[in-house]
Amino acid sequence: LSDAVEQGNIEYRPTKGVRILEYDLMAKHDTKMTKVELQLWDTSGSKRYQNCWPVIFKGAHGLVLVYNADQPNHANELEEWYETAISQSLVKDSNCCLMQHALPQTTDKNNVDLPQKLSNLTIIKSRLPSHGDSLREAFSKFVGRLLSNLSEATEQEELTIINS
């Protein structure tokens, strides 16, 4: 998806292992726009790289699970990925989102039926290449919410230390 947003390329290229992207993003935090230095770990969903997953998820602050609306089997894979990521990280549901990718010709009837476990997560829908701007905006909102959640968690932790 990052290739498609940046370059208009919609040809699918599976990630091999992990690809780390670092870039700056503007996100709303505490009612003002803030420059965020983001490190995004684009991880392969292939079981071939499963032994790398614990290291990849350790220390994660947020989680974005990307799936293809044209692939009905992705619902089961999403649930498995979610369970693996949550069990191997400290990421809470409020810091997770699903990104539903669909080709422009995809109809709503092709949508994947999500497992109940994932029903509370934010869903960002994309139809690249035509919706690149709305995808960037939705992702920026997710990052802003993630920043707020992390700030609140840090404040709670500090209060706990002070009060003990």
Token pair recorded at residue 38 = 């983001």
Q: What is the pLDDT of residue 84?
A: 87
- For the chain, 164 residues long, give each residue's pLDDT as a single digit of tens: 455 445 555 566 778 888 888 989 899 888 889 899 989 888 888 888 888 888 888 889 999 998 887 777 887 888 888 988 888 888 899 999 999 887 767 666 556 778 888 988 998 888 766 677 888 889 999 999 999 999 998 899 999 999 98
Put simply, whether the predicted model's pTM sits higher than 0.85 gets the answer no
Q: Please give the pLDDT value at position 2.
A: 54
pLDDT at 142: 93
Domains and CATH numbers, the chain: 2-163 (3.40.50.300)
Three-class secondary structure of residue 69 per DSSP: coil
Q: Pull the structure tokens for residue 126.
A: 């994309």
Dihedral, 65, 12, 2, 110 alpha carbons, nearest 10: -50
- Give the number of other CB atoms < 10 A from CB of residue 98: 20
**Quick one: how far is CA 53 from the chain centroid?**
15
Type of residue at 4: A
